[in-house]
Amino acid sequence: MVNDDVIKELKAKALQFRYDLLEMIGIGTAGHLGGSASLAELMAVLYFYRMNFDKTKLADPARDRLILSKGHAALIQYAALCEKGCFPREALKQVKTLDGLLQGHPDLTIPGIEAVTGSLGQGLSVALGMALALRLDKSPAKVYVVMGDGEQSEGQLWEAAMAAANFKVDNLTAFIDWNKIQATGATSDIFNNPDLDKKWRAFGWEVIPCPGHDIPKIIEALEQADKVKGKPALIILDTVKGKGFSFAENTAAYHNGILDEKIFAQATKELDLAKGAL
Ligand SMILES: Cc1ncc(C[n+]2csc(CCOP(=O)(O)OP(=O)(O)O)c2C)c(N)n1
C-alpha cells in the first residue's frame, strides 16, 4: 500500500498539470484539452512515482521511456516534464509558437521527449523497437506507451501488438486512454471497435482494466503489469475525456476547442474548488 501522503502529492501534481493545461491553451486559441486532461493522473503516477526519470540524466541508457502515441495530447506530457524541471515554466506560455520550444506534437528537440508522435498508430511500434533493444542490452529500463481509444482503428498498431506478443516482450507496458470519445464524436459512432480487452488478449497480451483517474488503482495496475512475464501488458484506463473541467467532460467539443474568456474563468474556478478539496 502506498502511503496517503504520497497519494495526496500525486493528486496535487495531477491538479497542477490541469492548471498548466489552461496556461498553455490560454484564451482564444485552440488546444487539445480533452485528451490531455484524461491523462493527468497517469502522468502524475508515471513521472512522479513510477519511472526512473531524472532531468539531469536524459540520455542515461537505464532511464525508463515514455512514448505518447496519441501525440496530440502533448500538453499533458509538457506539463509533467515542466514540473520535472526539464524546461522553465516560461516555455509553457509559448506553446505552439514557431519560436517556442514546445510544439503542438512531441518533438525530439524537447528535453524528455523520446519520440516524435502525432501521426496516430505509430507509437507502439517505436516503443516495441526500444523495448527489444533494451532487452538485447540486458537493461533494467522499462518502456511505457500511451495510445488513444480512437487510435485503436490504426492498422500498424495491431502489427506491433502481434509482434510484441510474438517476441514475448515483457519490458513494455502499454496503456489505452479509454475515454470513449475521439476528435469529432463518440468512438463507437465513428469507428466502432468494441471489446478491446478481448481483442488485445487474443493478440497475446495480458490485459489489466483500471479506473483511470484513481491514483492508487493506477499504481496497483502497474504493479500487476510488473509481475507479467513472457508477454507484454496492456492497462486499459477507464477515463473521462476532459476530466476536471465540467464543460469539457465526455464531449468532443473540447477535443481541440477554443476557450473563451467566460469558459476560461469557469475552468480556473473549478480547479480552485478542486484544490480546496484536496
Ligand atoms: C494517422 C492519423 N490520422 C488522423 C489523425 C487526426 N486525429 C488527431 S486526434 C484524433 C482522434 C484521436 O482519438 P483518440 O485516440 O480517442 O484520442 P483522445 O480522444 O484520447 O484524445 C484524430 C483522428 C492523426 N493525428 N493521425
Cα separation, 259 vs 191, whole angstroms: 28
> Could you tell which of 69, 117, 120, 191 is best to mutate to test the pocket of ligand 1, judged by most ligand atoms within 8 Å of the CB?
120
How high is the mean pLDDT of the chain?
A: 98
**Residue 1 binned pLDDT confidence (cut-offs 50, 70, 90):** confident
CB of 130 sitting under 6 A from ligand 1: no
For residue 219, what are the CA distances in angstroms to 18, 174, 198, 214, 223? 20, 14, 23, 9, 6
Name the DSSP class of 259: P
The per-residue pLDDT for 87 is 98
Q: How far is CA 135 from the centre of its chain?
A: 24
Ligand 1 atom at minimum distance from 181 CA: 19
Q: What string of DSSP letters covers 2-17? A: --HHHHHHHHHHHHHH
Q: pLDDT tens digits, residue range 63-95?
A: 999 999 999 999 999 999 999 999 999 999 999
The per-residue pLDDT for 213 is 98
Q: pLDDT tens digits, residue range 32-57?
A: 999 999 999 999 999 999 999 999 99
Name the DSSP class of 64: -
Cα separation, 199 vs 165, whole angstroms: 13
pTM reported for the whole predicted model: 0.98
> Could you tell which of 124, 182, 192, 255 is best to mutate to test the pocket of ligand 1, judged by most ligand atoms within 8 Å of the CB?
182
Cα separation, 213 vs 80, whole angstroms: 16
